[in-house]
Structure 1
Amino acid sequence: MNNNEHQHNENLPAGMNRRGFIRTAGVGAGAVAAGGVVEAAGVAAKAREPGRSARTRGVDYDVIVLGGGFAGVTAARDSSKNGYKTLVLEARDRLGGRTFTSEFAGHQVELGGTWIHWTQPFVWSEVQRYQLEVTETPELAIAPDGNAIMALVDGRCETLGAEQLGQVFAAFGKYFGDAGVLWERPYDVAYHWKNIVANDKLSARDAMQKMSLTPVQRVVLEAYLAGLSHCPSEQASHIEVNRWWALPGGSMQALHDSCGRYRFKHGTVSLINRMVEDGKPEVRLSTPVQRVEDRGSHVVVTTANGQRLTAAAVIVGLPMNVVQEVEFSPPLDPRVAEAGRERHAGTGIKLLIKIKGHLPKSEITALAPVTHPLPLVATYAVAADHTILVMFGPDPKRIDYADKAAVQAALRDFFPQAVVEEVHFHPWTTDPYSMGTWCNYRAGWFEKYLAHFQKDRGRVFFGQGDHGEGWRGFIDGAIGAGAGAADRVKARLG
C-alpha cells in the first residue's frame, strides 16, 4: 500500500478499504436458493438406484421431493442416505432453480445465486464435506491495477474520494444502527419479536427517508438497498435488509466477505453434482407436479402428464412464489397461498455485460439513482481483451436488457467510451418455476405471514429455502431447510 492509499484508508471505518467496499457494493445476488446442473440428464441417470425398494409397504417411494434446487437436493440426499427410497421431481430440464452455472464469453458464470462464506454454516459444512475449491470475485486474468467507486449524481459521474467515502460509510452506519436491536439473535426472530412487530410496516425506503442525506449518500445508500433486496426500496422490508447486515456480524466488511466475495471455483453446479452423486436419489427432470393429495396413510403425487406416484412422505422444496400453483389436498394454508400470490420482494434482474477492453481500473463499482437502468454495476471478471461486469437492478422492465445498444447507452453514463459486445441473464421473474429472484419479505410480512410459513401438514413436509431462520433466501438457508425437512421425515417414518 502506498502512502497515498494509506492516507485515504484512514478516513474509512476500521477493517474497510476501497477494495472491500467495491466488492461489498456488488453483494446483491449473494443469496438465491438453488443450484444449476450443466449435465443434468447425465447426473439424473447416474443417480438412479433401480434395485432399492421402498421401506414403507404399499407405496412407490418412501419420500418424494418436489423441486431440485439446493433445498430439494439436500432433502433428497439426506433422505436417501437415511435409507429411504427417494425421488426428486424437478420441473426444469436441469437440477437447480435459482442458481444456474452457465458459460458466457469464455467464463464460467452464475446467473443466479453465487457467493458463499464460512459465516454461512450449512453451505460451508458442505464445502468442507466435499473439499470443494473456492475462489474470489472478481476473477482476474491480468494483474489488478487499482480500484474505484463511482457515483452518478445529478447527471454527472464522479469517482468518490476519501472524504466522500467517509460520509457514505457514516450513512450506512446510521441506517443499519437498528440491526443489533432487531436481530440480536439472527437465528431467533422471536427473541426481539416486539421490536420486529413495531418496525414491521417500515419499508427500506421509509427508513432512509427519515435520514438527512447528501446527494451522494442518498444515491449510494439507495442503490445498495435495492441491490440487497433486488426490488424498489419502497417494496422491501426495513427489517429484512437489517437481517442481511446482522447475520455476518454487523459490519460492512463482514457483509462484503459473506455475500459478495467468495464463490465455488467450479460453480454452484459442483456442489449440486456432489450431493446427487453422494445420495443417489432417483431424479426425474422436466416433470412438473400438478397435485399432492395426503390420504392419511400415504401421499399421492400427480405429475402434469397425469402420472400418479405414491409415497409415505412428500417434502416440498418449491419457491414460495410458485407453490400455490400446485393443487394440495387438504389445501395449503390460505395465508401461504396468499403470500405466494402477492409474491416476495425479489423481482429484479442480474445482468452480465461483456465490454471491449478494460475500464480505467480493474475493480470498479458504479452506482446510480435507482431510476437508472444500471443502478449498481461491479467488476465480475477481467481478461486480456475484455471485461465482464455484473449489474443488479430492481426492475427487469426498466429497459430491454437483451438489447446491447440500450445497455451500452446506459453504461456510457459511467464510461463514455464503453463498447458492449455481449449481454447475458436469466429472466427469473417470468420463469414459471421461480417467478422471482431471491426471497426478501415485504414490509408487513413478519406479523402477517411468518407464523404460517414452513409448517408441516400431515405427511407433507415443507423445506423451502425462502423461509426459516438465519440465511434464508440464500444457498445456505436452502441447504438448512432441506436438511431440516429430511430430519423431520426421518422422525415421522422411523
Structure 2
Amino acid sequence: MIDTPTLPPQNLCGKTAIVTGSSRGIGAGIAVDLARRGASVIINYVSTKSRQAAEGVLQNITSNGGSALLVQADISSIGGIQHLVEESVKFSLSKKIDIVVHNAAFGDDCYLEDITPEFYYKQTDTNLKGPIFLTQAILPHLPSHGGRIVLVSSISARMAFASQTVYAATKAGCEALCRCWAAALGKKYGATVNCVNPGPVATEMYWESDPEFLKSMEPIIDATPAAPRVGQVADIVPLVAVEMTTADAYTWTHEGGLQKGGLTCEGVISPPEKYRAPQDNIYDVIVIGAGYAGLTAARDLANMKHRVLMLEGRDRIGGRTFSLDIEGFRYEMGGTWVSHYQPHILAELRRYGLEKRLVATRQHGYQFDYYTLTTKDQQKQITHEEAASIFQSAWNKFINVDGHYCRKICPLPYQQMGNLMVSRKEVEKFDKLSCRDRYNQIKGELTAEESTMLLSQLLMISGGDLAESSLWDMIRVQALGGHNIDNFEDIWLLYKLKDGQSHLAKMIFDDAAENGLDYLFQTPVGRITDTSHHHGTVEVEVADGRIFYARRVICTVPLNVLKDIQFSPALTTKRQAAINQGHICFMTKIHAEANGSGLASWQGTAYPNDLLLGFGDGVTTQGNSHITAFGGKEHTLFNPNPDLGNIHKAFQSLHSMDIQRLVFHDWNSDRFSQGGPCWWIPGFMTQYQEELQARHGNVFFASADWADGWRAFIDGALEQGWKAAQEVARELQSIKPRTAKI
C-alpha cells in the first residue's frame, strides 16, 4: 500500500448548515458528513428524550475537528422555527445559512379508519408546515448565490401503503414543494432545491413501523437492483451531503476574510465514484487525470465501446482549468480564452453547439477607459491604441529572429523539430537560446516604454526568469498565431466561453459517462506497474491501496507531478531527467472585484511588480468591476500561504482600486499541478519532447505540457488526448476486434 495521506474533501468550509431531526438516523448521518466536509452544522432535536442522542452526534463531529451546535426546537411550531433560525444565525461566522436539509419527520402508521384530527395535524405540521415556514424564515439569511435546500421525502410518496394515508400525502407534498421552490427560489435567490426519496432504510423509525408495513416492504427490498437488502444510512448520506462545490481556490472579502474551498463549480462530480469492474476484472483502458486531455481520451474511447475507467485526484474535472460561480458571476481560475486559431478547441465547441456562445473580455465605454503603463519611476496614462503600438513594436524587435517574424525558422508550428522547410539542426540552434539571450541582443533598440512593456509580458507569459525561459517557446506561439503579433490579444485574452470552461468539460464528461465511463474522483494514483510481459495487463494502484487493471493506460498527469508516481518498470533515464527538470512556469492569476464599474474598460502593465498585467474583465452582478491580473514567478504572493498584504499592494501598483473581493487558486502549491501552464527551459524541446510523447510499454502519455502545437493551452491538452485515444484504439481493435467498434 502506498503511503499517501488522504483527507476528507473540505469543500464546504465557511458554510453553515441546518439539519432538522438530526439526532439520529439519516439526519445524524447527514450532519456528520456535512461537518466532515467543512460545514458548521446545527444539530436540531425536538425533545429532552432525544438530547442524549444529539449530544452523541455533536461528540462525533467535534472529536474529528468539526464544528457543530445543538439546538432544541420543534419545527412543527412557528416559535420553534424562529428559535432555530435565530440560534443558527448567531452561530454562523458569515451570519448566513447556506444549507438547509429538511429531514425531520413524524412517520407513525395509521389506517384511514383510525385517523384523528390530532394525528393528522401532528404529521402535517412536522412534515409540511415545518419545511414551508423554516424555508420562509431562512430566505433573508441565504447567501446571494449558491444556497442549498434539500427535502428528504420517501418512496411512500409514490407507492400505495394502506397504513400511510397521511404520511404518504405529506411526502408527496415534499416533492411538490421541491418543484415549486426550484422554480421560485432559483432565479430570485440563486438557490438550488432538491428532493431525495429513500426507500426502506435501517433506522429506528423504520423498525418501529407497523408489522404489516414491514412485511409489505419485503418484495421491494428483494427487487432492489443494487442489492436485496434494507438500505443503510451511509447509502443515503452522499446523495444529500455532496454539494457542487470544490475544495480548490481561495476567496477573500472584508466580511468573511480569507476562505479556502466551498465554492460552486459545475465541474465537481457527485457522487465521486461510479464503477463496476468488468467481468474479467480488466478494463480496456484506465485514464489517469480528468483534465481536458484525460476527458477527451476517455470520451473518445468510451464512445468506441471500450471499457474505460477514469481516475482523478481532485473532486472535479478540468485539471488546470475550472470555473467558479460566486454570487451569480463566473470566474475562470485557470485556462480561459479560446480562439478559432486553435483547431481542437474549435472542433469541441462545434461538437457541443457552443461555438457561438462566446463573450468578450474587453468592454469599452466605462469611466477609466485607458491603459496605465507603470515603471519604477512613474505611472503614465495612455490610450489602448498607444499601448498596443508600443507592445507590437517591442515584440516585433524581439521575435524577428530570422528577418521574417519566424516564418522561416518555424513555418509549420505543428512540426517544429524539422520539416520540409527547415532542418532540425537549425531549430536546435535557436532552441538553445533563452529569452534573456534574445533580450540582450535587442535591448539597445528598445525605448524605455517598450522595454517595460516587453519585460512584463515575457515574464508573465513564461512564469519564470528570463534566463531560464526558452526563446523557442516564444517563437512557437508567434508561429501558431499566424506569425503576426496583431493576433496576440484576439488569441490570448479576448474570447471566453459564456457558460464557462467547466461547462464544456462537463459536456465532454457527460458524453463519456453516457457511454459507460466508470470513474473515481478524490482518488490519487501512486503506482503504475506494467505487467504485460507476464500477465498482459497494467496495474494502477491508488492512494487507499486499491489496484485496478487495464490492457492499456493513458497517463495525463502534468510534467511537474509525474515525479510523484512510481513506475515499474522504471522510466527511461531520459524521460526521468525531463521529469526531474520539470517546467519553469510558476505564474500567478488573481481575480479582484473592485468597487464600481469604472475599471471595467481599464488595462495596465507594471514592471517591476508582483502583478505584471491587469485588465477589466466584465462587470459583476453587484455592478462592480471584475479585474483579472497576472504575475510572473511570484512566490512572494504565496509564502507558503496567500499574502493578502502583498496582493493588495500589487493591485494598487497597477491602478488605485477599492477591492471588495479576491478570488484565486494557488496552482504552484497544488499537489496536482505544481505550477502553471507549461513553459520550458532552453534546449528542453529538442532534447526531451519526443521522449515525453513516447509510450512506456503499455502506458501512454498525453498532456498539454508536451503537445505538438498549442503547448500549455487547452487546445494542446485536447490534441494530446485525441492523439492518445486514437493510438490506443488501434491497438485494442487488434486485441479485441469483436467488442471494439470504431
TM-score when normalising by structure 2: 0.58
The 8 Å contact of residues 182 and 239 in structure 1, kept in 2 or not, is answered as no
Give 1:448 shift.
2.4
Counterpart of 1:125 (choices 342, 347, 369) is: 347
The 8 Å contact of residues 181 and 195 in structure 1, kept in 2 or not, is answered as no
Q: Does 1:198 align with 2:425?
A: no
* Number of the residue aligned with 1:22: none
Counterpart of 2:618 (choices 368, 378, 381) is: 381
Matches within 5 A, 1:51-450: 53=278, 58-104=280-326, 106-132=328-354, 133-138=356-361, 144=366, 147-160=369-382, 166-178=389-401, 179-189=406-416, 190-191=418-419, 192=422, 193-211=424-442, 212=444, 213-280=446-513, 281-296=517-532, 297-359=536-598, 362-369=600-607, 371-383=608-620, 385-399=623-637, 402-416=642-656, 418-450=657-689
The 8 Å contact of residues 275 and 519 in structure 2, kept in 1 or not, is answered as no
- Once the two structures are superposed, residues 52-86 of structure 1 have per-residue CA deviations (whole angstroms, 9 ceiling, x without a partner) of 947xxx44211100111000111111111111100
SS state at 1:40 partner: coil
Runs of 4+ in 1 over 6 A off after TM superposition: none
CA distance in 1: counterparts of 2:537 and 2:647, whole angstroms: 53
Alpha carbons of 1:474 and 1:302: their partners in 2 closer, same or farther (altered >3 Å)?
A: same
Q: 2:438 corresponds to which letter in structure 1?
A: A
CA distance in 1: counterparts of 2:464 and 2:473, whole angstroms: 12
SS state at 1:116 partner: coil
The 8 Å contact of residues 592 and 659 in structure 2, kept in 1 or not, is answered as yes
Alpha carbons of 1:82 and 1:164: their partners in 2 closer, same or farther (altered >3 Å)?
A: closer
Alpha carbons of 1:43 and 1:247: their partners in 2 closer, same or farther (altered >3 Å)?
A: farther
Of stretches 165-174 and 342-351 in structure 1, the one that deviates more from structure 2 is 165-174
Q: 2:562 corresponds to which letter in structure 1?
A: V
Q: 1:413 corresponds to which letter in structure 2?
A: S
Give 1:273 shift.
1.1
Give 1:362 shift.
3.4
How many aligned residue pairs are there? 449
CA distance in 1: counterparts of 2:509 and 2:391, whole angstroms: 45
- Once the two structures are superposed, residues 291-333 of structure 1 have per-residue CA deviations (whole angstroms, 9 ceiling, x without a partner) of 1111121111111111111111101111011112111111122
The 8 Å contact of residues 91 and 433 in structure 1, kept in 2 or not, is answered as yes
Give 1:471 shift.
0.8
Identity %: 28
The 8 Å contact of residues 115 and 261 in structure 1, kept in 2 or not, is answered as yes
Alpha carbons of 1:294 and 1:184: their partners in 2 closer, same or farther (altered >3 Å)?
A: same
CA distance in 1: counterparts of 2:275 and 2:281, whole angstroms: 16
* Number of the residue aligned with 1:29: none
CA distance in 2: counterparts of 1:165 and 1:79, whole angstroms: 44
Which structure would you say has the larger Rg?
A: 2
- Once the two structures are superposed, residues 102-136 of structure 1 have per-residue CA deviations (whole angstroms, 9 ceiling, x without a partner) of 13464211110001111111111010010025323
CA distance in 2: counterparts of 1:143 and 1:106, whole angstroms: 23
Q: 1:430 corresponds to which letter in structure 2?
A: S
Alpha carbons of 1:146 and 1:156: their partners in 2 closer, same or farther (altered >3 Å)?
A: closer
5+ long unaligned stretches in structure 1:
1-35
CA distance in 1: counterparts of 2:522 and 2:376, whole angstroms: 49
The 8 Å contact of residues 407 and 420 in structure 1, kept in 2 or not, is answered as no
Name which structure has the greater RCO, CA cutoff 8 Å, separation 6+.
1
- Once the two structures are superposed, residues 203-258 of structure 1 have per-residue CA deviations (whole angstroms, 9 ceiling, x without a partner) of 11221121121111111011111222122322210110121121021222322212
SS state at 1:42 partner: coil
The 8 Å contact of residues 323 and 502 in structure 2, kept in 1 or not, is answered as yes
Q: 2:430 corresponds to which letter in structure 1?
A: N
Give 1:381 shift.
1.8
The 8 Å contact of residues 281 and 549 in structure 2, kept in 1 or not, is answered as yes
CA distance in 2: counterparts of 1:203 and 1:323, whole angstroms: 25
Q: 1:394 corresponds to which letter in structure 2?
A: G
Give 1:144 shift.
4.3
Give 1:449 shift.
1.4
Q: 2:350 corresponds to which letter in structure 1?
A: Q
- Once the two structures are superposed, residues 389-429 of structure 1 have per-residue CA deviations (whole angstroms, 9 ceiling, x without a partner) of 1111112323458444433333333434x212221111111
SS state at 2:370 partner: strand
CA distance in 1: counterparts of 2:601 and 2:371, whole angstroms: 9
Alpha carbons of 1:461 and 1:414: their partners in 2 closer, same or farther (altered >3 Å)?
A: closer
SS state at 1:180 partner: coil
* Number of the residue aligned with 2:718: 479
* Number of the residue aligned with 1:12: none
